[in-house]
């Protein structure tokens, strides 16, 4: 059986059972573990499954998730305002980490600081900043997720562990009263390592993230600043206050930016 045919059958199996282990693939198709792992890598690269411990599964919480380009357009004015405030926090000569969030992309577009070093695994951030001769770009390499436009893999974590940054700008799929949430386990691990390797962690998220849901959590203990587009829900505001996390609200252009510590 050719790989393409086997991949289609794996997807059919996942639609019925939601998850499939390496052993299941080996048994079901009578292939070696190495072949099963190559099949998993291929499907993950295509962005149609997520890798789990010991196998793969359908991204249930991501079935309705918009493509990167669609999310870039969604709430674009709010994200632009957030990005402008975020970019103003970057100082000359700093090293900063930029996540793959669409809101972080608006930070990248509005950076005015000089002689900075940018660390990222977002191909769009690289494209935006590549025409700047006064900064350096360090790309965290790995496999390419075409749909969501970022590089991924164990090498991302490995490279981050060798870096020290002044600031990290990260996004979130959802924000609840107990932390930031992400649809993919590996994505949450990358954010956590970015936070560990940075002196200051800045979350940029429009108001829609505070009513969303996702599965993999990053604790607020890693966060220093939250920049958002509207007043926060009371229960989240109380938690951030308790943890001494600065909140910057960027409402409509004709309204005053509110910085609340």
Of 13, 39, 58, the last residue of a domain is 58
Q: What is the pLDDT of residue 63?
A: 42
Q: Three-state SS for 208? A: helix
Determine which helix (DSSP H) or strand (DSSP E) holds 15, and give its type and residue range.
helix 3-17
List, for residues 133-191, the tens digit of each pLDDT value: 999 999 998 888 777 778 888 889 999 999 999 999 999 989 999 999 988 788 889 99
Q: Are strands 165-170 and 198-204 parallel, antiparallel or unpaired?
A: parallel
Does one domain contain both 15 and 136? Answer: no
Same domain, yes or no, for 74 and 116? yes
Amino acid 143: pLDDT: 83
- Looking at residue 220, the DSSP 8-state letter turns out to be G
pTM of the model: 0.71
**Is residue 77 one of the residues assigned to a domain?**
yes
Query: In CATH, what number is assigned to the domain containing residue 180?
Result: 3.40.50.1360
CATH of the domain at 37: 1.10.10.10
212 and 107 housed in the same domain: yes
What does the pLDDT look like over 53-71, one tens digit per residue?
A: 778 887 654 444 444 445 4
Render pLDDT for 16-48 as a digit per residue (tens, 0 to 9): 777 889 999 999 999 999 999 988 888 887 767
**CA trace torsion 105, 102, 228, 218 (10° rounding):** -110
* pLDDT tens digits along 68-113: 445 445 557 889 999 999 999 999 999 999 999 889 999 999 999 9
Q: Give the residue ranges of DSSP H helices in 102-232.
A: 102-109, 123-129, 154-160, 185-196
Does a structural domain hold residue 42? yes
pLDDT tens-digit readout, 181-232: 988 788 889 999 999 999 999 999 998 899 877 888 999 999 999 999 888 9
Residue 63 inside a domain? The answer is no
Query: How far is Cα 175 from Cα 249, in angstroms, rounded to an integer?
Result: 15
Higher pLDDT, 91 or 7: 91
Domain range spanning residue 214? 68-260
- Give per-residue burial for 177-203: e unless 16+ CB within 10 Å, then b: eebbbbbbebbbbbbbbbbebbebbbb
């Amino acid at each position: 059986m050719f790989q393409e045919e086997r991949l289609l059958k794996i997807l059919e199996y996942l639609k019925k059972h939601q998850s499939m282990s390496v052993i299941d693939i080996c048994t079901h198709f009578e292939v070696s573990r190495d072949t099963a792992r190559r099949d998993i890598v291929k499907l993950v690269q295509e962005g149609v499954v997520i890798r789990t411990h010991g196998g793969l599964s359908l991204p249930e919480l991501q079935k309705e998730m918009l493509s990167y380009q669609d999310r870039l357009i969604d709430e674009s004015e709010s994200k632009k305002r957030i990005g402008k405030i975020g970019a103003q926090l970057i100082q000359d000569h700093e090293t900063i980490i930029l996540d793959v969030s669409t809101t972080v992309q608006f930070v990248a577009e509005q950076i005015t600081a000089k002689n900075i070093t940018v660390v990222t695994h977002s191909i769009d951030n690289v494209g935006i900043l590549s025409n700047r001769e006064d900064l350096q770009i360090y790309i965290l390499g790995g496999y390419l997720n075409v749909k969501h436009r970022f590089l991924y893999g164990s090498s991302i974590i490995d490279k981050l562990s060798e870096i020290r940054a002044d600031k990290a700008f990260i996004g979130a799929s959802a924000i609840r009263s107990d932390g930031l949430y992400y649809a993919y386990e590996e994505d949450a691990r990358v954010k956590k390592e970015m936070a560990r390797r940075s002196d200051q962690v800045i979350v940029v998220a429009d108001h829609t993230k505070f009513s969303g849901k996702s599965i993999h959590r990053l604790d607020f203990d890693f966060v220093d600043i939250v920049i958002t587009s509207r007043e926060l829900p009371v229960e989240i505001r109380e938690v951030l206050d308790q943890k001494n996390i600065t909140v910057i609200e960027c409402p409509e252009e004709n309204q005053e930016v509110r910085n609340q510590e």
